[in-house]
A and B are shown apart, each in its own frame.
Chain A
Amino acid sequence: MLEVIDLWVDVNGTQVLKGVDLNIPSGETHILFGKNGSGKSTLLMTIMGFRRYKVQQGRILFNGRDITEMPVNERAQMGIGLAFQRPPAIRGVKTRDIFNICNSDGVSCEMLAEKFDFSSLLERDLNVGFSGGEMKKSELLQLLLQEPALILLDEPESGVDLENLETLGKAINRLLQKHLWRTRAKSGLVISHVGFILNYIEADAGYVLMDGRIHCQGNPRELFKGIQRHGYRECIQCQR
């Protein structure tokens, strides 16, 4: 579904990605590990198409189509959805309005909000005064309404207390159609810094991103164990 080929990206004059290659087939969820500042978010932001992230070389293909130069909204309409790590607060714009913007199928925002204990936040200005967990929940509910085919999650567990992690895990599994087997069509690329998310979602492959390149690929749980035991730098040495 997603194919990234030899991607080089510059952010404000700094070379952040230096030849990233990856391939996520339909129905699979991949996890990207890496230290702070390794370029994980840059990769997601570039796949989504934000202007600050300048592609200097390489291509991004989505369902076989080259989207490297495509505007953000067209990528969204084609089926790419991103849950932000730190979404902006937008004063005066009600969370409900954003939910309605995302809602493609006329799903009831009220019912969804109630199910995820989010009803009281619908009338609030988007992300104004939200806790970390509330922001994350809002992001995931927006994606549930948007129903993208490729789901990009930027550190979905950061800033969320343990109690809420399980609810978020449920939302993520639903997004990724983890209840389906043969007919599962949704793919995911999840960034994790601390790896907690592995306890809540089943991932098919994991990578380590370091110094702007992907260094190894493997079973995500084993990979994460290695990272925990040896640290990132040593981990990529041994896997290599």
Chain B
Amino acid sequence: MSEVTRNRAELAKEKKALFGTDVDLRQYELPADNKAGIVKPESLSEEDRKKIISSGVDLADPNRAGTFLQADHRIVHCAAKQPGLEVLPMAEALEKHPWLEKFYWQAVHVDADKYTAQAELHFQNGYFIRAQAGQRVTTPIQACLYMRHENTAQNVHNIIIAEEGSELHIITGCATAPSLKSGLHIGISEIYVQRGAKLTFTMIHDWAEEVMVRPRSGIVVEENGVFLSNYVCLKPVRSLQMYPTTRLTGPGATARFHSVLLAPPGCELDTGARVILEAPQTRAEIIARTITTGGSIKARGHLRGLKPDVKAHLECHGLILAEDGVIHAIPELEGQTAGAEMSHEAAVGKIAEEEIEYLMARGLTEEEATSTIVRGFMNVRIEGLPPELQAEVDRAIEESEMSML
């Protein structure tokens, strides 16, 4: 990348992020050799495979249009099985497509904070996924960023481009090896949904108890483009902070964010979504369901309506299932023009006793009633998501129910 970009990163090396616990980057080792290397899939242990599958990525699954798997800084598997679809390691993509510079560090600023700076200065690959104009890739593409080495930093940079009129469904799983306790994951994701394109992005996170996670995402949706994001984080993590920004730049663009988050004791989640409705007739929806069994959650949301005839809704519901759990919902609406229609709905609390007793009056025990309500609470259905991806989300939720109740 250019000297200018590098310099900007250098200057932001110590810049603290606006939100979330400050991470001391020096605590985490960086691999000596940062060049893209390849490891064979056979080198993954049975346990690694299981963990990767539980995050929604199955190398043996024939019903995937493409696959990307990176373990630490090395590529394990990368393939696209459909014409018009491209799946490449980022380093290779940058060499192959000089035009990619127009998309690199465009939706996310390189000097946003010390994490973006580190992703530039200590680049360790990532994926590039692109559907060429008019290509409808209806079978999902899977991508997994996997961490195996104790106390290392994984810094990846991803770009997704759904070109004009194309359709893409991506499931990404981020996970750590069962033996890994501590580490740092920095993931830059720049997502471009061009005119009339549709992209669904389902992300399932499965980290370890001492892992720090700092994703930095920027999304640009053009005229009549549709971006749907479905985020599930139900496994312990030490600290996760992310606040992706989406710009709806063309008339009729739509973005929807649905997330289901669980914070067990010792876990700190600071997440949300921000959507800027820059063009008329744009639509946005942010829906978060958060549950704490002892951890702390900040659920943010920010809608900015800049043009008339935009509609947006923000919804945050939190369930506190333990005495010492904390949920802090911070919804923000910012209308900068008459004719922007924006609303929000937030509710935080424990399960209402009258709901439990209502179900008990139908014959359920107190435990059965509670689990029925919690399951319903997490039941986030996203319109337009292929059934196989909905099934992955449902499975992740079902698994976590066992541990929660």
Q: Which residues from A are CB-within-8-Å of B358?
A: 84, 87-88, 90
User: Are A91 and B362 touching (Cβ within 8 A)?
Assistant: no
Assess the A51–B363 pair: CB atoms within 8 A.
no
Smallest CB-CB separation from A99: which chain B residue? B362
- From residue A52, how far is it (CB to closest CB) to chain B in Å? 8
Asked whether B373 lies within 8 Å of A72 as measured between CB atoms, the reply is: no
Q: Does B392 contact A (CB under 8 A)?
A: no
Given contacts A73-B366, A90-B376, contact A48 B354 (CB under 8 A): no
User: On chain B, which size bracket covers the interface?
Assistant: 20 to 34
Main secondary structure of the interface of A (DSSP, over half): mixed
Q: How far is the CA of A50 from the CA of B363 in the complex (A)?
A: 13
Contact between A51 and B357 (Cβ–Cβ < 8 Å)? yes
B352 interface residue, CB < 8 Å from A?
Answer: yes
Secondary structure of the B contact surface, majority rule: helix
CB distance from B193 to the nearest CB of A (A): 28
Residues of B within 8 Å of A121, CB to CB, are none
A88-B358, A90-B358 known; A73+B372 contact, CB < 8 A? no
The smallest beta-carbon distance between A191 and chain B, in angstroms, is 16
* Interface of chain A residues 113 through 140 with chain B (CB within 8 A): 125
A interface bracket (residues with beta carbon within 8 Å of B): 20 to 34
A97 at the B interface (CB under 8 A): yes
CB closest chain-A residue, reference B351: A90
Would you call A82 and B376 a contact (CB within 8 A)?
no
Instruction: Pick the most buried of B317, B352, B353, B357: most chain A CB atoms within 10 A of its CB.
Output: B357
Query: Which positions 71-125 of chain A face chain B at CB distance < 8 Å?
Result: 71-73, 76-77, 81-82, 84, 87-88, 90-94, 97-98, 101-102, 125
The 0/1 profile, CB within 8 Å of A marked 1, for residues 377-400 of chain B is 111000000000000000000000
How distant is B118 from chain A, measured CB to nearest CB, in Å? 39
Which residues of B are found within 8 Å of A98, using beta-carbon distances?
359, 362
Given A88-B354, A90-B355, A73-B376 contact (CB < 8 Å): no
What does the 1/0 interface line of B339-365 toward A look like (CB < 8 Å)?
A: 000000000000011110111111111
Residues on B with beta carbons closer than 8 Å to the beta carbon of A81: 361
> Is B375's beta carbon under 8 Å from chain A?
yes
Within 8 Å of chain B (Cβ to Cβ): is A146?
Answer: yes
- Given A72-B357, A88-B354, answer yes or no on A125-B364 (Cβ-Cβ < 8 Å): no
A72-B379 CB under 8 A given contacts A88-B355, A90-B355, A93-B373: no
Closest to A82 in B: B361
State A48–B359 Cα separation when bound (angstroms): 12
Specify which of A51, A52, A94, A102 is in contact with B362 (CB 8 Å cutoff): A102
Contact (Cβ within 8 A) B361 A91:
no
Contact surface of B with A, Cβ cutoff 8 Å: 317, 352-355, 357-366, 369, 372-373, 375-379
Additional pairs, 18, CB under 8 Å, beyond known A101-B372, A146-B363: A48-B361, A51-B353, A73-B361, A73-B365, A76-B363, A77-B363, A87-B358, A88-B358, A90-B373, A91-B377, A92-B378, A101-B359, A101-B362, A102-B362, A102-B363, A125-B376, A142-B362, A146-B362
Q: 25 interchain pairs (CB within 8 A)? A: A50-B357, A51-B353, A51-B357, A52-B353, A71-B366, A72-B360, A72-B361, A73-B363, A76-B360, A76-B363, A81-B361, A82-B361, A87-B358, A88-B354, A88-B355, A92-B375, A94-B376, A97-B372, A98-B359, A101-B359, A101-B362, A101-B363, A101-B372, A102-B362, A125-B376
